[in-house]
Amino acid sequence: MTEEQAYTVVGGRGSMTVFEIYIKTTPERLWEAIVDGDLRKRYSFGVGTESQWTEGSEYRSGVPGVIDIASGENLEVDPPRRLVQSFKALWSEDVEREGTSRVTWEIEPVGSSCRLSVTHDQLGENANNELFGGWPMILSGLKTLLETGEDLDTPGSLRYSGAAE
């Protein structure tokens, strides 16, 4: 982390939230799980993400005909190491008012595993907790999927699974 990225505490919590998890997988398989819409649905509340996954391309996350979750731009795309995206939450008026923040996915091989760091920053001083509160469940679902081939089935983890069917 550079000095510019130093963690800042505002009002008792951070304007940057960093989540780090270790997953027994390859960088290529982890990257695929991040950018493949069908795989993403399996660990991200049943929500898929569609994009061309090129620098400057747009992405949209949601369940067609049910709910829009987020949209933004892929600012940096460096497979299988780094993905930086602008992030505009869309699931409620409260989070839409928060504006645009940024999410950075960084993959680093560690032995036969990978360290995945997800940094959600450029959040407002009093950012709505909903903007970053789902990350632990998403990352737990990602780890479960890649290590076991199974979906995490905790309450909420599959919130929109089957919603479009």
Work out how many domains the chain is built from and give that number: 1
In DSSP terms, which residues pair with 109 in a beta bridge? 114
pLDDT at res. 7: 43
Interstrand relation of 67-78 and 48-51 (parallel, antiparallel or unpaired): unpaired
* 154 within some domain: no
pLDDT at res. 116: 97
* 163 within some domain: no
* 6 within some domain: no
Q: At a CB cut-off of 8 Å and minimum separation 6, what does 136 contact? A: 19
pLDDT tops 80 at residue 112: yes
pLDDT in tens, 51-105: 999 999 999 999 888 899 999 999 999 999 999 999 999 999 999 998 999 999 9
How many whole angstroms separate alpha carbon 100 and alpha carbon 40?
22
pLDDT at res. 10: 44
The average pLDDT across 102-111 equals: 97
List, in sequence order, the alpha helices (H) in 1-134: 27-35, 37-43, 93-96
Q: Which domain holds residue 79?
A: 13-148
Q: Return the CATH number at 105.
A: 3.30.530.20
How many whole angstroms separate alpha carbon 138 and alpha carbon 12?
24
Question: With bands split at pLDDT 50, 70 and 90, how would you rate the model's confidence at 46?
Answer: confident
